[in-house]
Structure 1
Amino acid sequence: MKKQLPKNVRQIGNVSDSSKIYVEDYVDTFFNQLCDKTDQMPIGAFLVGEKVQEEDQDLIYIYGAIRMSEVTMKGQDIHVQDTVWKNACEVCKQYFENAEILGWFLTVPGQPLEANHNIKKIHEKFFSREKSIFVLKNTVDREEQFYIHKYQDLMECGGHYIYYEKNLEMQNYMIASRKNNGVTPSETIEDRVTKNFRDVIKEKMEKNEERHGTRFIYAASTFLVLVVFVIGVTMINNYDKMQGVQQSLDTISKSVSNKEGDKVMETGGEVIEEEKEQEGDKILEEPENPEAQILEDDIYVVEKGDTLATISRKVYGDISHVEAICKMNGLENGNLIFIGQKLLLP
């Protein structure tokens, strides 16, 4: 898979070489922190990253740095032991998976920015291959010089790039090794341009997150209003249906009461029933209003605490008639019943 060029890049110096060097911001921060810790003895670090060839150009990405466990100095000469290299290789495997060691970094108190014979000798010992990198940084004014190994020599580079991205590998290494290195992943760079650039990127990300959050809240609010509206319409329709059923039941109840009043006459405490029998066959009169056939036993008045399930259990002994009661009374929602409501029983 082709590696994408970093989007957030800051150029340092005049980049005119065929090989372009990209240094991740956390690595640049690490260089400055090592300079802060330099007293009288030099401090070194191995550079970790990858090389990518794009057309006729070499792109060198440095996204990690591992501090050398020991750098000694005898007179004016720097010495790096083989054990230091072996230790760095183990740390690289642990924190920077699939990366390779591309070169090294050195800061020496009071030393000029120059790759002298001693430094070139160390570089040839560990990094004799072409396009390896050496970085020399001054502890006082923080000036730095990049070198690239070409034609069996260290050639000075005109400039390089600082790029910004999510660099968890370098952060994890800095956190895990802060006791030994004496540095933390916090930003202590005095370069205000770098800090301001990062602040701008962070502000843009926060604005984008805020914009997405506002859209989500607006969509959720609109959906909630729609749900409440649908529930309200449904409740109104159910209420209208219940009112219609209630009026019909009241009419039926009154009709039944009137019929029974016509049949029973009270006189002096004795009840006289009118008989309408003729000799031979009994003449059965059909009621003029079919609604009069419904008796009071066919109507249930809702009491406090009633549900359709409890009503079904009271009347029929089980709850299997809930659906039938709903259909009989035109109830779409069986929970919408009220005290005193008259229900027609199936």
Structure 2
Amino acid sequence: MQYFFDGDNNLYGYGTEEREDGFTLPSKIRQMGAIEDGLKIYMEDYVYTYLYQYGKSAGGTEKLAALVGQHLVIDDQETLVICGAIQGKSAKEEGGSLRFGDETWEYIGSQMEKYFKGMTLVGWVHCQPGFGSLLMARDEEFHRAYFQERWQVLFVVDCLDKMDSFYIYQKESGGLQQAKGYFLYYEKNEEMQEYMLDHHVGKRKEAETAKPEPAAEEGERKRRRPTPEERIDAAQEIRRVLQKRAKAAEAAQKSRYTMLAAVSGMLCLVCVCMGFGFMKGLERLQSVENRLAAVQTSYTALAEDIEGVKSQAVFSAMALVTEDKESEETKKDETEEVRTHIVEEGETLGYISRKYYGDNSGVERIMEANGIEDANKIICGQELRIP
């Protein structure tokens, strides 16, 4: 099989692979999302298109549908081929959610017998406009109760936000998990085309219903089934309308992107201007810091000079005090009277001290001034210096 990428990077494949039992894989496919190991899901394009039309009809209310197709094992690969969708008419609300009722099951069975003979019920669809493609707990409960085959799937569609997801059984836990991707395939699907023509949900049918028709023409229209050419033309018209809507949506998306780019450019320009202002502010702040550093340096030098002057002044004052003290002592020594005493018989140093000082406090001074070591060793006639 050969592959190429189209403009929006979606993978397409061309070619055929035929099995020994006669089944042929789809010849043209488009990959939606990522494909992982496990169940591979192929959905025919008419089915996909019809489900989005069906979801938008009747004011975009909540709807259910059934999926029909084949479950196959191809080269040990489990494969699900979905080639039909049936409206879930007469669905009933249970616990705040729509569910298939008995009338719904009977209707699905009758439509399979009429349009999709030989096919199998492979899953169901929940259209929930405006609620995204998230799995609801009640949907999982319903699926586990009525779609118990491991290959039966749930397809959740939000036609307003254009979101959809398949949910499949997990191998380990048995719960439902979101499939990362699937394939859309394109080939002749007369069964689905016929069902779409008989159950049209677009605006054309509403217009035709509103327009009165002659009774004869209406009876003839009911009696005559569409020819294959008419079915193909109708399907092509449906696809043309969808492509036109897709292009309009793409143009609107581009317009939004252009506006977003312009706003982003303006924001970038504002950020650049703010950046320049911030840089100027940094330069001014750096200048202030440099000036503060210079002032700090000057203040430190001035403080050191003042400290040196103070130290010198203190040293000079101390020197003056010392000189004054020495001068006073010198003057005291110079002015102090030098006295002498001749020791007479019977005198002691204590007697001499009391004579000159009034008490015995001068004994040591007299001994020091005369070099006497023992106060009891003075002799008669000895000359003593009295300080």
TM superposition score normalised by structure 1: 0.51
* 1:152-167 mapped onto 2 (5 Å cutoff): 152-167=174-189
Query: CA offset at residue 38 of structure 1?
Result: 4.9
The secondary structure found in structure 1 opposite 2:242 is coil
Equivalent residue for 1:189?
A: 242
**Largest Rg, 1 or 2:** 2
Query: CA offset at residue 6 of structure 1?
Result: 1.2
1:112 aligns with 2:132: yes
Q: Write the letter of the residue equivalent to 2:98.
A: I
Candidates 164, 168, 179, aligned match of 1:148: 168
Query: CA offset at residue 16 of structure 1?
Result: 1.0
Equivalent residue for 1:54?
A: 74
Deviates more, 1:10-19 or 1:30-39: 30-39
Number of residues paired by the alignment?
193
Cα separation, 1, equivalents of 2:246 and 2:132: 25
Equivalent residue for 1:77?
A: 97
Cα separation, 1, equivalents of 2:55 and 2:165: 14
Equivalent residue for 1:19?
A: 39
Conserved 8 A contact 1:13-1:160: yes
1:171 aligns with 2:193: yes
Conserved 8 A contact 2:72-2:78: yes
Equivalent residue for 2:310?
A: none
Q: Write the letter of the residue equivalent to 1:101.
A: L
Candidates 150, 157, 172, aligned match of 1:137: 157
Conserved 8 A contact 2:132-2:163: no
Cα separation, 1, equivalents of 2:83 and 2:184: 10
CA offsets 1:52-99 (integer angstroms, 9 cap, x no match): 101221111000000111334456433321321121011101101110
Bigger helix fraction: 2
Bigger relative contact order, structure 1 or 2 (CA pairs below 8 A, ≥6 apart):
1
Cα separation, 2, equivalents of 1:111 and 1:18: 28
Query: CA offset at residue 40 of structure 1?
Result: 5.7
* 1:80-99 mapped onto 2 (5 Å cutoff): 80-99=100-119
Q: Give the gaps of 5 or more residues in structure 2.
A: 1-20, 207-233, 248-387
The secondary structure found in structure 2 opposite 1:178 is coil
Q: Give the gaps of 5 or more residues in structure 1.
A: 194-346
The secondary structure found in structure 2 opposite 1:110 is coil
Cα separation, 2, equivalents of 1:40 and 1:21: 26
Q: Write the letter of the residue equivalent to 1:143.
A: M
The secondary structure found in structure 1 opposite 2:161 is coil
1:121 aligns with 2:121: no
* 1:203-214 mapped onto 2 (5 Å cutoff): none
Kindly report the root-mean-square deviation, in angstroms, between the aligned alpha carbons of the 2 structures: 2.5
Q: Give the 3 Å change call, closer, same or farther, for CA 82–125 of structure 1 in structure 2.
A: farther
